[in-house]
């Protein structure tokens, strides 16, 4: 089993854990290494659920923070082991997981080992299956079996944010908008009804749609409604009797799922609409006292998170949460995934200052 040396720099630790493959569904080796490394630490109570590891201080502090990061990655594509590169004079660490989000996990592991007496109690969570279906997500499982472990006054998810603070997140909804017709031989098309042609108004409504910019607690979230897939037809000489347009709606956290669903149904009034997946967003929650202290400690000006992240899971449990981690989110899952070494070091400094400075 690979071993983790938590006394090395967070940059070196990033190299180590990135070089341990942990594609979703194959996190066991890295989870074993994390569990074996943090279990002997006397200041932490350690709990394991599958390939999710939770380590907690229990110092009787008045407040508790939760700091979480996922240990899985999307599939490797010739980008492991990691390598050091320089771009425009700036050093980067390049390889799968460097951005999403093992650099953040490395920072968390190092601080979990070193901060024996943080000023607030801390729950560290390293979880599996973030990059795949939500029902497999380690946090989904943990929230069902041990919801008490999520208790806290404020949470930080180490998703890549360029070392900036991104508050809350947009909600996410997927819908299938369908048209139906009548099959016929394409040589006698007038006998049938072409379901694909009937979908033209759906695309027209999408083309004419103007998404909202919505201010929520001082942050402006940008919404979006887009076709992401279209399908129909059974053969090259058959008039299709079914067409499905898959639509993705990213909605501001001022709306709940029910409101988002009503909006989508209103946009496509007159069509058959099936909601196939939906997840609520998360309000920023930056008015929480511990959140304000965090912003001051890291010297950050908060921004909105346009994508959906697991901060929504904490928000649903009543814990305000933000995204804060090294790495450019535009490079997540990219074959040239790379993180600036300076960002890893900056995020470590920011979290350390927040957890140690009263």
Q: Which of 72, 166, 223, 241 is catalytic?
A: 72
- Mean pLDDT of the region 338-348: 97
How confident is the model at residue 2, as a pLDDT? 81
Angle between the N-to-C axes of helices 341-356 and 103-114, in degrees from 0 to 180, rounded to the nearest 10: 30
Which residues are CB-contacts of 292 (< 8 A; sequence separation ≥ 6)?
286
How confident is the model at residue 101, as a pLDDT? 96
Report the phi/psi class of residue 88: left, alpha or beta, with left for phi > 0 and alpha for psi in -120 to 50. left
At residue 266, does pLDDT exceed 70? yes
- Mean pLDDT of the region 101-125: 98
Centroid of chain to Cα 135: 14
At residue 18, does pLDDT exceed 90? yes
Q: How far apart are CA 44 and CA 57, in angstroms?
A: 5
- Mean pLDDT of the region 120-129: 97
For 224-263, the pLDDT digits (tens) are: 999 999 999 999 999 999 999 999 999 999 999 999 999 9
- Mean pLDDT of the region 282-293: 89
Q: How far apart are CA 271 and CA 175, in angstroms?
A: 12
How confident is the model at residue 299, as a pLDDT? 87
Angle between the N-to-C axes of helices 10-18 and 103-114, in degrees from 0 to 180, rounded to the nearest 10: 130
Q: How far apart are CA 345 and CA 90, in angstroms?
A: 13
How confident is the model at residue 288, as a pLDDT? 85
Which residues are CB-contacts of 89 (< 8 A; sequence separation ≥ 6)?
none
How confident is the model at residue 85, as a pLDDT? 95
Q: How far apart are CA 127 and CA 50, in angstroms?
A: 9
Residue 286 CB neighbours (<10 A): 19
At residue 160, does pLDDT exceed 90? yes
Average pLDDT score, the chain: 95
| Catalytic status, residue 130 | yes
CB-based contact 249:263 (threshold 8 Å): yes
Q: How far apart are CA 323 and CA 143, in angstroms?
A: 19
- Mean pLDDT of the region 131-140: 89
For 48-86, the pLDDT digits (tens) are: 999 999 999 999 999 999 999 999 999 999 999 999 999
Q: What DSSP element (H or E) covers 83?
A: strand 83-87
| Catalytic status, residue 72 | yes
- Mean pLDDT of the region 326-342: 95
Residue among 64, 90, 113, 103 at smallest CA distance from 332:
103
pTM score, whole prediction:
0.89
Q: What DSSP element (H or E) covers 202?
A: helix 200-208
Output the DSSP codes for 49-67: ETTEEEEE--S--S-EEEE
pLDDT class of 358 with cuts at 50, 70, 90: low
Output the DSSP codes for 165-219: EEESB-EEEEEEEEEE-B-EEGGGGGGSB-HHHHTHHHHHHHHH----EEEETTE
Q: Which of 51, 100, 121, 130 is catalytic?
A: 130
For 187-231, the pLDDT digits (tens) are: 999 999 999 999 999 999 999 999 999 999 999 999 999 999 999
Q: What percent of the chain has pLDDT over 70?
A: 100
């Amino acid at each position: 089993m690979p071993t983790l040396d938590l006394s090395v720099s967070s940059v070196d630790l990033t190299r180590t854990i990135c070089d341990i493959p942990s594609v979703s569904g194959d996190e066991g080796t890295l989870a074993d290494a994390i569990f074996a490394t943090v279990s002997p630490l006397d200041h932490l109570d350690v709990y394991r659920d599958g390939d999710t590891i939770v380590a907690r201080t229990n110092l009787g502090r008045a407040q508790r923070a939760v700091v979480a990061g996922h240990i899985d990655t999307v599939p490797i594509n010739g980008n492991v082991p990691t390598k050091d590169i320089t771009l425009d004079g700036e050093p980067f660490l390049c390889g799968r997981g460097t951005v999403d989000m093992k650099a953040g996990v490395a920072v968390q592991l190092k601080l979990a080992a070193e901060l024996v007496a943080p000023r607030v109690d801390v729950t560290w969570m390293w979880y599996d299956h973030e990059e795949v279906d939500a029902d497999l997500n380690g946090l989904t499982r943990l929230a069902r079996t041990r919801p008490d472990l999520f208790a806290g006054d404020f949470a930080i998810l180490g998703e890549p944010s360029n070392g900036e603070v991104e508050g809350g997140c947009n909600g996410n909804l997927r819908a299938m908008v369908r048209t139906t017709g009548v099959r016929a031989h394409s040589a006698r098309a007038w006998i049938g009804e072409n379901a694909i042609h009937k979908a033209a108004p759906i695309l027209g409504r999408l083309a004419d749609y103007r998404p909202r910019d919505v201010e929520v607690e001082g942050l402006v979230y940008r919404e979006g409604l887009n076709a992401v897939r279209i399908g129909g037809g059974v053969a090259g000489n058959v008039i299709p009797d079914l067409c499905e347009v898959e639509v993705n709606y990213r909605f501001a956290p001022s709306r709940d799922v029910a409101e988002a669903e009503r909006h989508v149904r209103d946009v496509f009034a007159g069509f058959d609409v099936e909601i196939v997946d939906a997840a609520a967003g998360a309000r920023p929650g930056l008015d929480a006292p511990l959140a304000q202290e965090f912003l001051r400690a890291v010297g950050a000006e908060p921004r909105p998170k346009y994508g959906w992240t697991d901060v929504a899971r904490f928000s649903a449990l009543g814990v305000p949460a933000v995204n804060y981690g090294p790495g450019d989110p535009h490079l997540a899952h990219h074959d040239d995934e790379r993180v600036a070494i300076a960002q890893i070091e900056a995020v470590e400094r920011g979290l350390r200052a927040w957890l140690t400075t009263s």
